Amino acid sequence: MARKVVITGLGATTPIGGDVPTMWKNALKGVSGARTLEDDWVARYELPVTFACRASNKPDEVLTRVEAKRMDPSTQFAVVASREAWKDSGIEEIDHDRLAVAFATGIGGVWTLLDAWDTLRDKGPRRVLPMTVPMLMPNGPSAAVSMDLGARAGAHTPVSACASGTEAIALGVDLIRAGKADVVMTGGAEAAIHPMPIAAFSAMQALSKRNDDPEHASRPYDLDRDGFVMGEGAGALVLEAEEHALARGARIYAELAGSGVTADAYHITAPDPEGLGATRALKAAMFDARAQAVDVVHVNAHATSTPVGDKPEYTALKAALGNQVDNVSVSATKSQTGHLLGASGAVESVMTALAVYERKAPVTINLDNQDPEIPLDVVTSARDLPSGDIVALNNSFGFGGHNAVVVFRNA
Amino acid sequence: MASNEEILAGLAEIVNEETGLAPEAVELDKSFTDDLDIDSISMMTIVVNAEEKFGVRIPDEEVKNLKTVGDAVDFIASAQA
């Protein structure tokens, strides 16, 4: 029998709240984190998209100046969220050789990389900061979190675009089950609201261009959806072997009951139109968790608000859940937070853990005309989840055909 | 041309900016590594910032000889001369 893994700590810094209590209060209310960008580079480069979901707290105002100076913004977000999750777990004494990190990012230190390039061109190689390489590397967030916590059982960085955060959580479960760690700080961080990624995502027609109405731009499942809205921030979850958590009398949010990770092997950006890879990930995750379709009451969907992406997820849910798909409360919280790329799966897993713990599904905003081809039961005002034993899923999919699903069960 | 006092004050400012150490902790007889706990990456950042501030060039092979704050002040003063 595999070791049971439970969630004992949560952290988040997001566009709808700089900590978990604020984010969750807003997620149940239904707010938009999208705003017009005030940065001078928006006009300088005549960007086709002029808004995004900025994190509500600047991490360099939470960290000390010297801490912030040595970290790319993505790492700053990771450290802020993981500190909150660690404190929330209540862990005081731990064998640091049994504490691991699995912290993801989609892109890595893009601000550091491009700032260094600007410095090289403008001022020459001598002025390129010596900390550039450790700040830009994608393992920067996991390395910084491991140093911050003294986590010595490995610091891992799964990178699978927008599935990264969820894949990090899946890896954390595996590490505990395999006996390689007793506690794993898992999560994802992203800080890519920079003119280059905005230009690049825009070039591939992935972003909403609703520049005159940012708050209504992220609208998953709506007929008028026209792309995703970039977000930034981090989510963090403390995963712990159940016996370790019980021995210290920890508060348990939920069981992290299983995971499924697959690849479409179909197209570098487009999802398999039949959702076959996502279906296999869902089925694998439910099998891993020993969960039946009938147990599933809530899904935090990937649902980015792109015209092509939202429907295959529905197809996959229907294939994996059968008729039960009609009885599942589906939340598309990117409508509020925007798409945090490599952090999105982690932030949404924080929300799914809270949904199971408090038995409340968060809100999907901006659903005015639901796409008739996606007849899901979408949660548009906070809804109670049933009592008794329940299961919830969090889906994340990434460019490259990556599919990651994690399964939550009430403790 | 900066006086040795001005160079010390300028260095202390750069060290404070990089490490958070109080400027008054940056004294002539303090070792960068043993007393101020400055690692090699921070040292290179301090060197490059000092080059810009004082308009001098501190060759990489010279950096290892700058063991104390006083060594750095003397080097910058002579490079400016």
> What are the tens digits of pLDDT across the range B46-60?
999 999 999 999 999
Residue of A53, A162, A194, A298 with catalytic role: A162
Tell me, yes or no, whether A77 and A15 share the same domain: yes
Q: Among the three residues A189, A213, A247, which one is the final residue of a domain in this structure? A: A247
Contact B19 A65 (CB under 8 A): no
Cβ of A131 and B45 within 8 Å? yes
Tokens of A286: 């439910």
pLDDT at B1 over 80: no
Q: At residue A403, does pLDDT exceed 90? A: yes
Answer yes or no: is A321 within a domain: yes
In chain A, the number of structural domains is 2
Closest chain A CA to residue B41: A130
In the set A156, A244, A339, A402, the catalytic residue is A339
**Residue A303 pLDDT class (50, 70, 90 cuts):** very high
Catalytic annotation present for A162 = yes
Low-confidence winner among A1-10, A246-255, A283-292 (lowest mean pLDDT): A1-10
B16 touches chain A (CB under 8 A): no
- Identify whether A153 is part of a domain: yes
**Boundary (domain end) residue, out of A193, A220, A247:** A247
CB pairs < 8 Å spanning A and B: 19
Please report, for residues B3, B11, B45, the alpha-carbon distance to residue B17 in angstroms, rounded to integers and kept in the order given. 21, 10, 10
Shared domain check, A188 and A323: no
A216 labelled catalytic: no
- Torsion A129-A130-A132-A135 (CA) sign: negative
Domains in chain B: ranges and CATH: 4-80 (1.10.1200.10)
* The pLDDT value given to residue A221: 98
Is position A35 within any domain?
yes
pLDDT of residue A1: 62
pLDDT at A254 over 70: yes
Q: What is the pLDDT of residue B2?
A: 84
Interface contact A65-B18, CB threshold 8 A: no
**Residue B18 near chain A (CB below 8 Å):** yes
What is the pLDDT, as a whole number, of residue A31?
Answer: 98
- A253 in a structural domain: no
Interface membership of B13 toward A (CB under 8 Å): no
Residue A252 covered by a domain: no
DSSP strands (E only) in chain B: none
Q: Residue A62, Cβ neighbours under 10 Å: how many?
A: 18
- Number of residues that make up chain B: 81
Q: Both A341 and A386 in a single domain?
A: yes
Q: Is A229 part of any domain?
A: yes
CB neighbourhood size of B35 (10 A): 15
Please tell me the predicted confidence (pLDDT) of residue A271: 86
In this structure, the answer to whether residues A207 and A281 fall within a common structural domain is no
The percentage of residues in chain A with a pLDDT greater than 90, rounded to a whole number, is 96
Mean pLDDT of A72-85: 98
On whether both A64 and A98 belong to a single domain, the answer is yes
Average pLDDT of span A139-160: 98
Shared domain for A182 and A271, answered yes or no, is no
A286 and A202 within one domain = no
The string of pLDDT tens digits covering residues B23-46 is 999 999 999 999 999 999 999 999
pLDDT score of A62 more than 90: no
Q: Given the DSSP bridges, would you call strands A296-300 and A329-331 parallel, antiparallel or unpaired?
A: parallel
Residue A270 pLDDT:
87
Q: Tell me if A23 is assigned to some domain.
A: yes
Report the predicted TM-score, pTM, of the whole model to 2 decimal places. 0.95
Q: Are strands A391-398 and A296-300 parallel, antiparallel or unpaired?
A: parallel
- Quote the tokens at residue A330: 């589906």
Backbone angles phi, psi at A119, to 5 degrees: -65, -45
Report CA dihedral (A111, A112, A118, A121) to the nearest 10 degrees: -150
Complex prediction ipTM: 0.84
Q: What is the pLDDT of residues A269-278, one digit of tens each?
A: 888 888 999 9
Testing the interface with B: which of A63, A64, A66 to mutate, by most B Cβ within 10 A? Answer: A66
Q: What does the pLDDT average to over A265-294?
A: 95
- Closest residue to B20, CB basis, from A65, A130, A131: A65
Residue corresponding to tokens 């034993």: A389
- A86-96 pLDDT, tens per residue? 999 999 999 99
Residue of B41, B47, B63 to mutate, testing the A interface (most A Cβ within 10 Å of its Cβ)? B41
CA nearest A360: which of A300, A285, A293, A289?
A: A300
- Mean model confidence pLDDT for chain A: 97
- Measured CA to CA, the distance from residue A263 to residue A78 in angstroms comes to 26
Q: Which residues of B touch A65 (CB under 8 A)?
A: 20
- In a shared domain, residues A213 and A273: no
Given A189, A222, A247, the domain boundary residue is A247
CA distances from A393 to A67, A285, A320, A385, A408 (A): 36, 9, 12, 13, 6
pLDDT surpassing 90 at residue A66: no
* Most A CBs within 10 Å, among B13, B39, B42, to test the A interface: B42
- In this complex, do B45 and A66 lie within 8 Å of one another by their Cβ atoms? no
Measure the CA dihedral B60/B64/B67/B69, to 10°: 0
Residue of A nearest to B17 (CA): A66
Residues of B (47-66) whose Cβ lies below 8 Å from A = 48, 51-52
Q: Does B41 sit within 8 Å of A64, measured CB to CB?
A: no
Q: What is the DSSP letter of A135?
A: H
pLDDT of A391 higher than 80? yes
Pair (A114, A233) in one structural domain:
yes
Range of the domain at A378: 258-409
Residues A313-370 have pLDDT tens digits of: 999 999 999 999 999 999 999 999 999 999 999 999 999 999 999 999 999 999 999 9
Are A67 and A182 within one domain?
yes
Q: Nearest-CA residue of chain A relative to B43?
A: A130
Residue A369 lies in a domain: yes
pLDDT in the model for residue B81: 81
User: Are A87 and A21 contacting, i.e. CB atoms less than 8 angstroms apart?
Assistant: no
**Encoded amino acid at A166, one letter:** T
- Pick the residue from chain B with its C-alpha nearest to A124: B48
Q: Check whether residue A147 and residue A21 sit in a common domain.
A: yes
The model's pLDDT over A160-195, given as tens digits with 9 standing for 90+, comes to 999 999 999 999 999 999 999 999 999 999 999 999
Same domain for A239 and A263, yes or no, is no
* Domain CATH number, residue A134: 3.40.47.10
A129 in reach of chain B (CB within 8 A): yes
